[in-house]
Amino acid sequence: MPEHAHTDLHFRDARELARAIRQRELSSRQVTSHFLDRIGRAPTLAAFSEVTAERALAQADAADRLQDAGILMGPLHGVPVAVKDSIQWQGTPATGGSQTRQGVISGETSAAVHTLAAQGMVILGKTRMTEYAFGLSGQNPTQGTARNPWDARVARAPGGSSSGSGVAVAAGLAPIALGGDTGGSVRAPAALNGVVGYKPSSGMISRAGCLPLSDTLDVLGPLARTVADARLLTQLLAGPDVDDAATLALPAACFTALRHPVTRRPGAVAVLAPQAWPAPLTDAGLRIWHQAQARLEQAGLAPAAWHPPAALSFARMADDNSVVLAYEAYRYYGALAENPAAPLWEIVRTRIAAGGRISQADYEAALRRRQADMAAFASAMHGIDALLMPACDQTAQALDPEDVRHVGLGKLLRPANFLGAAAISLPAGFDDEGMPIAVQLLAPAGNDAAMLDCAALLEPVLLPAPRVPDLSSWGL
């Protein structure tokens, strides 16, 4: 295929690519080969832990043959996708970002990968992640840290734990990716890389066959170029699964509503009052926040301030989320953390080990507060479709060995996990150094469709002139 036909192919959204494949402007093999070529030319971005090129080309050829036979498996038929290393695919490595699992090959395929393949999508490979998904900066010194593509000079945080997924989409190495969000791990890399990151309500997508961190909090979600792409991929993956009990607790209407976008009224969105924010923003972060608010006001979309009930402290919920996460993570990985010979990054070892010092009584009390908070949030949000608040306190900063420079991310992102809420990170501007920053929308558990409607309404206003990173220094 002539090179000029590939112009900006890698920055088209997934639905555009699907349409081009469907209309035979492109074949799945041409699209897949283009992305594999880009991945191969940008090893320094370290977005992928495993590139499954042979399988991807075989899947692409199969997608093309099916289309020749008049069969399209789904709305993203033939479109490439990347998946986080913790999402298992039989016969491929599943290290969970840890050298303690080096050489471990999956003996099973996750429900999510089964569905992606059944929809005719092409899996490019597994993306890098924070070790055992325990960290939001995206740093992983034992296996290699994905590079934030917006700065080729300074190694800045790519966001974690789904770091490679965020980098892959931002750098045009994949049109869409699947990550996991236990304490912000889809929204953090989306926010710091300038893409959309959607954490569905707990139970929306089956986690069967994925490496766990916290049974209560783990959620799978997409990183994408647009809200519409994120919604569509979730629509394909969502549904009850007997192998994941959390999916059986959501009413069927929560799944089916994803298929029916609705135009929302301007007053459907409220904004969390600044005094209720769980972390302050830096001066640059606050400036971009106010600029985004001004754009919303100019568009007639200025949200009214929302004050949570006194018992609903976002800062306390962020801390409670850490209690539940650490306690449950220790049940899975505590023995590794307590083994000094295990090749864990010491920062992650310390985080896991801390879970062993949380009492069962404190853990159960946090779970009881979670149920009360979920009910209080749903009640207080009655008549409001989505709540707007900052997604990050600052843009991506240079990585620090102690991994403390990005703690504000967790304080802002974790409340949504504790609430089991739907949440989505939306690009909202750039700082003076050209680094992206984001806001997020939240909605009570199960109200994903309405929140996504609101996100689609706000998306073009928050960032009227989208940008892509200068990738010339990365060999692209």
State the CB neighbour count (10 A cutoff) for residue 243. 11
State the catalytic residue, choosing from 33, 106, 110, 185.
185
Burial class (CB in 10 A: 0-12, 13-18, 19+), 291: middle
Strand, coil or helix: what is 75? coil
Integer Cα distance of 318 and 314 in angstroms:
6
Phi, psi of 56 (to 5 degrees): -60, -45
Per-position DSSP letters for 149-190, written without gaps between them? TT-SSS-B---SSSHHHHHHHHTTS-SEEEEE-SSSTTHHHH
Q: DSSP letter string over 274-331? A: GGG-SSPPPHHHHHHHHHHHHHHHHTT-PPEEE---TT--HHHHHHHHHHHHHHHHHH
**What is the rounded CA–CA span in Å between residue 66 and residue 423?**
36
84 carries an active-site annotation:
yes
| Spatial separation of the C-alpha atoms in residues 391 and 62, rounded to whole Å | 40
User: How many Cβ atoms from other residues are within 10 Å of residue 8's Cβ?
Assistant: 8
359 given a catalytic annotation: no
Other beta carbons within 10 angstroms of residue 65's beta carbon come to: 11
3-state secondary structure of 424: strand
Catalytic residue among 161, 162, 214, 322: 161
The one catalytic residue among 84, 126, 199, 411:
84
3-state DSSP call for residue 83?
strand
Query: Measuring CA to CA, how many Å separate 343 from each of 353, 360, 401, 476?
Result: 14, 28, 17, 34
How many helices (DSSP H) and strands (DSSP E) are in the chain?
A: 14, 11
Whole-angstrom distance, CA of residue 130 vs CA of residue 132: 6
Q: State how far the Cα of 460 lies from the Cα of 442, in Å rounded to an integer.
A: 18
110 in active site: no
Q: Which residues are catalytic?
A: 84, 161, 185
